[in-house]
């Protein structure tokens, strides 16, 4: 194997494209068919019939829950919604005016790291304890993100309501009032759509860290770092900035031509695996359109739709999950820099499912690199260099 590796650059799969790096039953992406499944269930069924909480159970347990099991999970999630008071103080502390330059993703990562200090089970990697840790993380992500949003705007932090589901609770805590039912439903489905996506960059990162038998918090913090980049979870904010810059449906054509001539990427388009319609975009396109109609402002949907047509014509690139989620969230009044933390509120379910899988049948993940540097370099003493 070493010989083959030394032999030629063609042995290197740049960006690990096409390399099968783990066996998993959590989810599968079929890029040719445009199909996404979670534990065998089609995303279209889940997006139209299920709830985020049910999908969390599915990802962790490999099957849909019976009613009593779902009730039990919801009870356990609700019991963990609240944050230790020290964490609330930490959020207030890091969100004071002087620290406002940070991204909410940075604050989320920092707070999750601090949260590990309060979890006595964090080093217990048994399945039973790991499920409890995963439950606490999944329950607390929305509370943390909403608290960051309130604190950085100098507003009171709103306590979660145990009777609300994750999507409704998040909007309630963020806005300080009960959300519109349609908005809460759309967010619930958006959370379903982003829950897992096989070995995407952040999930792979989580598995690499879990593969060292580090605790679940460490794996999740590393995944948050991977998700924050503009080529992964940061794309939804980036596309909304583009939509705002374009601002008028008649300017889309010129904007795209100019951007492409400068080799600039239009975020929200293209995908490393899908060669046809991203099935998540199908639902978010529908929501973006309906949201625009309901709120009496279809501009952002129309600009995205025109971008879609031009990107297809010019580059044969299709919208991914981010393209239409941006305008959907914007119409819900969610600040731009919370789009990626919302992605994390969803993807924590997939990350933890993969971490559970990694712990259950662990092997240290340790690939090789093709060395392209010099060899046999003589050591020159410092005074002679
Ligand atoms: N806008 C403009 N051009 C794009 C593009 C985009 N969104 N996505 C890909 N391209 C172009 C590249 O510039 C490149 O062109 P070239 O061959 O002339 O250099 C070609 O298409 C291949 O791009 P590459 O980045 O190598 O393909 P990939 O399969 O590795 O890319 C992504 C997948 C997702 C990283 C890429 O499409 C991208 O950066 N998209 C925007 C970011 C985004 O939306 N990410 C969220 C993914 S869910």
Q: Over the stretch 13-69, which tens digit does the pLDDT of each residue have? A: 889 988 999 999 999 999 999 999 999 999 999 999 999 999 999 999 999 999 999
The pLDDT assigned to 95 comes to 87
Supply the residue whose CA is at minimum distance from atom 8 of ligand 1: 270
The domain that contains 73 carries what CATH number? 1.10.580.10
161 and 306 belong to one structural domain? no
136 and 174 belong to one structural domain? yes
Catalytic residue among 197, 271, 283, 354: 271
What phi and psi values does residue 83 have, to the nearest 5 degrees?
A: -100, 150
User: Ligand 1 mean position to 261 CA, how many Å?
Assistant: 15
Supply the residue whose CA is at minimum distance from atom 37 of ligand 1: 270
The pLDDT assigned to 256 comes to 96
Residue 26 in any domain: the answer is no
Q: Is the pLDDT of residue 98 over 90?
A: no
Which of 18, 231, 270, when mutated, tests ligand 1's pocket best, judged by the most ligand atoms within 8 Å of its CB?
270
265 and 216 belong to one structural domain? no
> How many domains does one find in the chain?
2
What phi and psi values does residue 51 have, to the nearest 5 degrees?
A: -130, 160
Residue 7 in any domain: the answer is no
Q: What is the mean pLDDT of residues 335-356?
A: 97
The pLDDT assigned to 99 comes to 63
Catalytic residue among 183, 215, 278, 322: 322
Enter the pTM of the model.
0.94
The pLDDT assigned to 349 comes to 98
Tokens of 2: 């070493």
Residue 12 in any domain: the answer is no
The pLDDT assigned to 97 comes to 61
The pLDDT assigned to 377 comes to 98
User: Ligand 1 mean position to 233 CA, how many Å?
Assistant: 14
266 and 166 belong to one structural domain? no
Which of 13, 265, 279, 319, when mutated, tests ligand 1's pocket best, judged by the most ligand atoms within 8 Å of its CB?
265
The angle, 0 to 180 degrees and rounded to 10, between the axes of the packed helices 235-246 and 252-261 is 120
Q: With pLDDT > 90 as the criterion, what percentage of the chain qualifies?
A: 90
Q: Residue 108: which of 156, 158, 143 has the closest Cα?
A: 143
Residue 3 pLDDT grade (very low, low, confident, very high; cuts 50, 70, 90): very low
Residues with CB under 6 A from ligand 1: 231, 235, 265-272, 315, 317, 320-322
147 and 281 belong to one structural domain? no
Q: Residue 142: which of 93, 187, 97, 76 has the closest Cα?
A: 187
Tokens of 203: 């999930």
Establish whether 361 is a catalytic residue. Answer: no
DSSP run (H or E) holding 27 = strand 27-30
Query: Which is it for strands 27-30 and 41-42: parallel, antiparallel or unpaired?
Result: unpaired
Residue 221 pLDDT grade (very low, low, confident, very high; cuts 50, 70, 90): very high
The pLDDT assigned to 2 comes to 44
The pLDDT assigned to 4 comes to 42
Q: What is the mean pLDDT of residues 116-144?
A: 98
169 and 122 belong to one structural domain? yes
Residue 380 in any domain: the answer is no
For 167-203, the pLDDT digits (tens) are 999 999 999 999 999 999 999 999 999 999 999 999 9
Establish whether 196 is a catalytic residue. Answer: no
The pLDDT assigned to 100 comes to 64
- Domain span at 308: 235-331
For 251-295, the pLDDT digits (tens) are 999 999 999 999 999 999 999 899 999 999 999 999 999 999 999
């Amino acid at each position: 194997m070493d010989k083959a590796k030394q032999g030629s650059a063609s042995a290197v799969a740049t960006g690990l494209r096409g390399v099968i790096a783990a066996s998993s039953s959590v989810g599968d992406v079929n890029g040719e068919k445009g199909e996404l499944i979670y534990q065998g269930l089609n995303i279209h069924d889940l997006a139209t019939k299920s709830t985020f909480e049910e999908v969390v159970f599915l990802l962790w347990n490999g099957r849909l829950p019976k009613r009593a099991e779902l009730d039990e999970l919801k009870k356990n999630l609700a019991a963990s919604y609240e944050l230790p008071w020290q964490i609330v103080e930490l959020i207030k502390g890091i969100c004071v005016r002087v620290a406002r330059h940070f991204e909410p993703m940075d604050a989320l990562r920092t707070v999750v790291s601090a949260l590990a200090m309060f979890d006595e089970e964090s080093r217990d990697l048994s399945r039973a304890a790991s499920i409890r840790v995963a439950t606490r993380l999944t329950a607390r992500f929305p509370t943390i993100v909403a608290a960051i949003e309130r604190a950085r705007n100098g507003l009171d932090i709103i306590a979660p309501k145990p009777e609300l589901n994750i999507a409704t609770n998040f909007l309630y805590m963020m806005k300080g009032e009960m959300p519109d039912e349609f908005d809460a439903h759309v967010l619930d489905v958006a959370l379903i759509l982003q829950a897992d996506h096989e070995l995407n960059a952040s999930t792979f990162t989580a598995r690499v860290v879990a593969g060292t038998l580090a605790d679940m918090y460490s794996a999740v913090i590393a995944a948050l770092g991977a998700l924050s980049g503009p080529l992964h979870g940061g794309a939804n904010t980036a596309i909304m900035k583009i939509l705002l810059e374009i601002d008028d449906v008649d300017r889309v054509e010129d904007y795209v031509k100019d951007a492409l001539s400068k080799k600039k990427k239009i975020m929200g388009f293209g995908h490393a695996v899908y060669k046809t319609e991203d099935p998540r975009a199908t639902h978010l396109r529908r929501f973006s359109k309906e949201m625009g109609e309901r709120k009496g402002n279809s501009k952002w949907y129309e600009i995205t739709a025109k971008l879609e047509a031009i990107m297809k014509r010019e580059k044969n690139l299709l919208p991914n999950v981010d393209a239409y989620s941006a305008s959907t969230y914007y119409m819900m009044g969610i600040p731009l820099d919370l789009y990626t933390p919302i992605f994390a509120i969803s993807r924590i379910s997939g990350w933890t499912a993969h971490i559970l899988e990694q712990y259950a049948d662990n092997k240290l993940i340790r690939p090789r690199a093709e060395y392209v540097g010099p060899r046999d370099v003589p050591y020159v003493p410092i005074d002679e260099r």
